Amino acid sequence: MIKLKQNTEVEIYQVELALKVKTKQSPFIPILILAQEQEEISAEILQENLLTALPVRACDNLLKRLEQQGYLQHVQKNMLSYRQTHQVAFANYSLTKLGEQSAIDKSFWIGEKGVYNVYVSKSTLIQHRIIMTEKVDRAENDKDSRTTILPREIRQYENQVLTINKTEVLFEDIEERCFQLRPLICVIEIHAKGNETILKIDKDNQSLFQTDFDIEEKYLQEELLAACSEFEYDQDKKAILSEFNKDNLSFNRKVKILKPIFQRNQFNQVEIESITHIPSNQENADLWYWELLYKNMNDYFLDENSFKDYANELVKPILLHFKVKVPKRKELSEIFYEREDAFYQIAKLETIDYLNY
């Protein structure tokens, strides 16, 4: 998992507005689904199939309400005669485009109106600037904060649908003037794990905004490593080019990036696990291999084949990037004779020769 954090400022504007919120919890949803199944719906059909406890006229009032809200459209109204008694047949309705979509989504738009605190982020990481709306009971006044013209970051979303914290919100009508409140200093976090990445904005460990972010962990890792100037990263080999260090021969290491950059945004220090490291050049590759042979030599070699197997196994990760010569026993002994700390390694290489002699 990769976790990125940065501080960010969130502006707050108190605005009078009318909006609609899409919900999955509404008693009207089953009515729309029934209308979709029946292709047309009337008060009689509604009562018979769904609302058996309600009078037919009450059912008709519900359908009229849905018509007024744009979910249903009137089809026809007829006069029928039953046993020579004239009765007014209730109207038939069909779904509008809005009603059809609501039946498919099993959702319903609920209208709201009032004064809201609208939270606006300036971060370029967020597709739309409005990250939260909060209805308030009491509006601010000029003594508490300053009046200002509605900023473009809010005005541009009038009559548009935004997804805020996984809820769709339609901003229908927004007043021109508003109060600007004191901004908040918050934290933007990006959490990437496998194929799932989320972006969230928190204030004092309380979430203001959260959304899915369109990047996988491996691609985020690649961007962070490629943009880092603290080491040399080879994008083709997907590895950090490293100088030989006898105290660290690992090919997979944890990396610390002091100033990670992602989409031109700088974040706080981050650590990334299991990043491939390889020698930076041929000389480093040779030194790295010889040190691996030195440090992993635990057994005596009783024949050439056992040594050959040992040497070939250790060279595999280096051969992926460099042509390194695999030495014979005597060749490696000569290399070790140049060291002052290789007495036991030389003994493990040469003891069989003395025994045979």
Instruction: For residue 264, give Cα distances in angstroms to 100, 123, 223, 224, 261.
Output: 42, 11, 11, 11, 6
Residues in the chain, pLDDT under 70: 76-89, 140-145, 353-357
Question: Measured between alpha carbons, how far is 113 from 326 in angstroms, rounded to an integer?
Answer: 78
Q: What angle do CA 326, 328, 333 make, to 5 degrees?
A: 110
- pLDDT value of residue 357: 53
- pLDDT value of residue 81: 40
Question: Measured between alpha carbons, how far is 228 from 337 in angstroms, rounded to an integer?
Answer: 40
- pLDDT value of residue 80: 47
- The kind and range of the H/E element at 109 are strand 108-121
Instruction: For residue 341, give Cα distances in angstroms to 295, 331, 336.
Output: 11, 17, 8
- pLDDT value of residue 86: 42
pLDDT tens profile 9-44: 999 999 999 999 999 999 999 999 999 999 899 999
Question: Measured between alpha carbons, how far is 79 from 92 in angstroms, rounded to an integer?
Answer: 12
Tokens 């901004």, residue located: 183
- pLDDT value of residue 353: 66
State the alpha helices, DSSP H only, in the chain: 28-38, 43-49, 56-68, 97-105, 152-155, 217-227, 282-295, 304-319, 329-337, 343-356
- pLDDT value of residue 82: 41
Question: Measured between alpha carbons, how far is 236 from 231 in angstroms, rounded to an integer?
Answer: 15
pLDDT tens profile 103-135: 999 999 999 999 999 999 989 999 889 999 999
Asked whether the beta carbons of 35 and 95 are under 8 A apart, the reply is: yes
- The number of angstroms, rounded, from the C-alpha of 49 to the middle of its chain's C-alpha atoms is 43
- pLDDT value of residue 85: 42
Question: Measured between alpha carbons, how far is 206 from 160 in angstroms, rounded to an integer?
Answer: 27
Question: Measured between alpha carbons, how far is 27 from 148 in angstroms, rounded to an integer?
Answer: 40
* Helix, strand, coil share (%) of the chain residues, nearest 5: 30, 40, 30
239: CB partners within 8 A, 6+ apart? 233, 275, 276, 277, 278, 321
- pLDDT value of residue 355: 59
pLDDT tens profile 54-77: 999 999 999 999 999 999 998 865
